[in-house]
Amino acid sequence: MTNGSYITEFLLLGFSEVREIQLMQFVIFLLIYLAALIGNILIITTVAADSSLGNSMYFFLANLSVMDLGYISVTMLKAMANCLMNSRLISYSECIIQVFFLFFFMASDYFLLTVMAYDRYVAICDPLHYETVVNKEAAVQMAAITWISGLFYATVHTGATFAVPFCSNIINQFFCEIPQLLKLSCNDLYLVEVVALGLSACLGLGCFSFIVVSYVEIFKTVFRIPSVQGREKAFSTCIPHLTVVFLFLFTGTFANLNPTSSSVVGLNRIITMAYCILPPVMNPIIYSMRNKEIKAGLWKLYCKFWREPINQKQSSLSLQHRIQSGHKKP
């Protein structure tokens, strides 16, 4: 294949060609996806249903869960479909869509984590002005900026990647990944790679520096709090966010720094899979385990939609049993 214009579909190389292993892979992917789906929907529902979780921190958390759902759905749904149907094909247009939305949700996720660091900075370092600085209107505007920034970032990267012709259609990954796509190009991509890496480095390092500076100021303020309970309360709202940031950056950096030319192919796919599935699956668990307000909201949700209907059903059955036994209603 010598001309990229003739390519209408790509061949994704999965983990195995053995049918039994493909089916087992489908079951594993399905369980992982359901865990991410249930966890993030619970977070979104809890924030929406509990009026006590109405401040900007939980509004941002609900947005993060929406992004995580999109983030994992982009890669996992197609991978599961291919495993189930014993196929490795993805059309050219589907590949463009997958690359675009993967970068869109991934970049938006990172930008939102940066905004959440600013939210924690204002809440802890300037609590008297928190309600005025990060009010509902400001929170909506900041969330909108993260979505728009992710859209811009995804558009630039997707356009730069698919603006060049491809000389092969075999992608050495289970989804359309940009580093693997660039290897298929017929042209010298030095300039494209420099521009893409330069943009990613500027945005990534800028956000990372902002998060680091924010948390340096946060920890300075927290350690000045005289009461132990006050420090614990401050840390309880910061540690989940800091853990999520570390997980996101660690998995992404480790996957991108992994030398694909010298590493084992299967290991490279597993490492790449880690940054696609770990953050969306682990983020709800981290927040639900470390944040007391989220745990309280989840308990209220459980009592409202599960425990109370069961108690009512048991009371109704008990009443029917008494009536059938000839006893009067108390």
SS (H, E, C) the chain: CCCHHHCCEEEECCCCCCHHHHHHHHHHHHHHHHHHHHHHHHHHHHHHHCHHHCCHHHHHHHHHHHHHHHHHHHHHHHHHHHHHHCCCEEEHHHHHHHHHHHHHHHHHHHHHHHHHHHHHHHHHHCHHHHHHHCCHHHHHHHHHHHHHHHHHHHHHHHHHHHCCCECCCEECCCCCCHHHHHCCECCCCHHHHHHHHHHHHHHHHHHHHHHHHHHHHHHHHHHHCCCHHHHHHHHHHHHHHHHHHHHHHHHHHHHHHCCCCCCCHHHHHHHHHHHHHHHHHHHHHHHHHHCHHHHHHHHHHHHHHHHHHHHHHHHHHHHHHHHHCCCCCC
What's the confidence (pLDDT) of residue 272? 76
Direct distance between the N- and C-terminal alpha carbons of the chain, in angstroms, rounded to an integer:
84
The model's confidence at residue 3, banded by pLDDT at 50, 70 and 90, is: very low
The model's confidence at residue 276, banded by pLDDT at 50, 70 and 90, is: confident
What's the confidence (pLDDT) of residue 231? 82
Q: Is 304 a residue whose pLDDT tops 80? A: no
Identify the residue with better confidence: 226 or 326.
226
The model's confidence at residue 5, banded by pLDDT at 50, 70 and 90, is: very low
The model's confidence at residue 217, banded by pLDDT at 50, 70 and 90, is: very high
| Residue tagged 């796919």 (tokens) | 269
Residue 183 to residue 167: CA distance in whole angstroms = 9
Residue 277 to residue 71: CA distance in whole angstroms = 8
Residue 43 to residue 50: CA distance in whole angstroms = 11
Q: Determine contact, residues 117/245, Cβ cutoff 8 Å.
A: yes
Strand order in the sheet with 89-91: 89-91, 9-12, 170-171
The chain-wide mean pLDDT, for the chain, equals 81
Over residues 220-249, the mean pLDDT reads 84
Summarised one tens digit per residue, pLDDT across range 104-160 is 999 999 999 999 999 999 989 888 888 888 888 999 999 999 999 999 989 988 888
What's the confidence (pLDDT) of residue 182? 80
What's the confidence (pLDDT) of residue 113? 93
pTM confidence score: 0.83
The model's confidence at residue 323, banded by pLDDT at 50, 70 and 90, is: low
Over residues 201-210, the mean pLDDT reads 86
Q: Where are the domains of the chain?
A: 4-290, 295-330
Summarised one tens digit per residue, pLDDT across range 23-39 is 898 999 999 999 999 98
CATH fold for domain 4-290: Rhopdopsin 7-helix transmembrane proteins (1.20.1070)
Cα separations (Å) of 37 from 17, 30, 32, 290, 294?
28, 10, 9, 20, 17
Residue 52 to residue 48: CA distance in whole angstroms = 10
Q: Determine contact, residues 109/241, Cβ cutoff 8 Å.
A: no
Residue 268 to residue 260: CA distance in whole angstroms = 6
Q: Determine contact, residues 258/271, Cβ cutoff 8 Å.
A: yes
Neighbour count for residue 269 (Cβ, 10 Å): 20
Over residues 228-252, the mean pLDDT reads 83
Summarised one tens digit per residue, pLDDT across range 150-205 is 999 899 888 888 887 888 888 888 888 887 888 887 776 666 666 776 777 788 88
What's the confidence (pLDDT) of residue 260? 47
The model's confidence at residue 326, banded by pLDDT at 50, 70 and 90, is: low
